[in-house]
Structure 1
């Protein structure tokens, strides 16, 4: 059936408008966090995370050099997630994420991590845009079995976390200033968490990217 150019143009415009409305609806449901690569505690290095209302949400204070253990805390200082670095047979570092605090008193937790994260290394071939793979539990399986894939550039603060269906569940973006000619640089950036994805886990991935690419 022949479609008149005018009707075809109107149909395309309606479709594009519907897509914009859908995108706006999704954006309104997203959680926007501001991440500051600085600890609020004197003599400590870490991260401070605040929400869109200026409230403290997460903090990291034990961040000196490249530690083998990093703890993400809530505003009151309670441990939420702990990331532990492991190296096996001289291979690349793997990071395992556990609930709460993992220390000498809770070594049994090391047997049941939430997930493990491995930095992607491009050797002659592969997707150079991929930065890391996230696997469920403690298994380091084939990249096709990854629960999440992280793509983009952490150095430029432009990353996306994609699920198995290639849907974006979290994003790292440069923070834009409302005033012209003002730049936050890379020490202050945004973490956008899409509906249904845990913001604490998204922040844990930010910490691991910082370990891998800073």
Structure 2
């Protein structure tokens, strides 16, 4: 039987700000038996990030972890009046950190029922807010994250094998552009999939 966890790596890569375009495989499954979550592999097939929810009946809070199991973000479900959203809190918190969330992901409502845009508010913990948008494609099998200028910074689409076979509804290729905080983008992707009830 294969091991659930990767072997200890002497010099493990640190995923923070990208210096070049990065490609990941996002598998919407937890490595924990009967758990909910997702596992993210880098281009070398090593685990980069993971979400394991041991209590699949209670999904109001999940934790994004790095390859060693260190928690990067606590992602919590929130509700204010009629609106529901997810907020990400950066961990571990230091003495100088504010208690507020680092980001918030919510659905933007419009007259068109076909509109599938989601608002991402970032920098809330530093009082330097800026926005991203998540836009799902018409075929519903991919989505893009863009900055306030409309520049695409990350894109997710269903993964295909080298011979073009679709690997299923729960396996995605995620391409992230340079100079982007990978853990933050991953936190936003997790929050979006929680809104869509994908994990």
Higher CA-based Rg = 1
2:30 pairs with 1:50: no
**Larger RCO, structure (CA 8 Å, separation 6 or more):** 2
Change (3 A) 1:32 1:179: same
The alignment partner of 1:46 has SS state of strand
> Secondary structure of 1:29's match?
coil
C-alpha RMSD of the superposition: 2.9
More strand by share: 2
From 183, 187, 191, give the equivalent of 1:204.
187
* Aligned match of 1:33: 24
Query: TM-score normalized by structure 2?
Result: 0.76
1:186 maps to 169
Counterpart CA distance in 1 for 2:30 and 2:98 is 27
* TM-score (normalizing by structure 1): 0.71
Q: String of CA shifts for 1:19-60, please: whole Å, max 9, x gaps.
A: xxxxxxxxx931000011111122322111101111111111
Structure 1's 84 and 165: CA in aligned 2 closer, same or farther, altered over 3 A? same
Is 1:157–2:116 an aligned residue pair? no
Q: CA separation of 1:57/1:101 partners in 2, compared to 1, >3 Å: closer, same or farther? A: same
Residue 156 of structure 1 deviates from its aligned partner by 3.1
User: Which whole-Å CA distance do the structure 2 matches of 1:177 and 1:96 have between them?
Assistant: 34
The one of 70, 73, 80 equivalent to 1:78 is: 70
Unpaired segments of 5 or more residues in structure 2? Answer: 1-18
Q: Using the alignment, how far apart are the partners of 1:129 and 1:31 within structure 2? A: 26
Contact 1:94 1:116 (C-alpha < 8 Å) held by counterparts = yes
* CA separation of 1:39 and 1:101: change in aligned 2, threshold 3 A: farther
Q: How many residues align?
A: 174
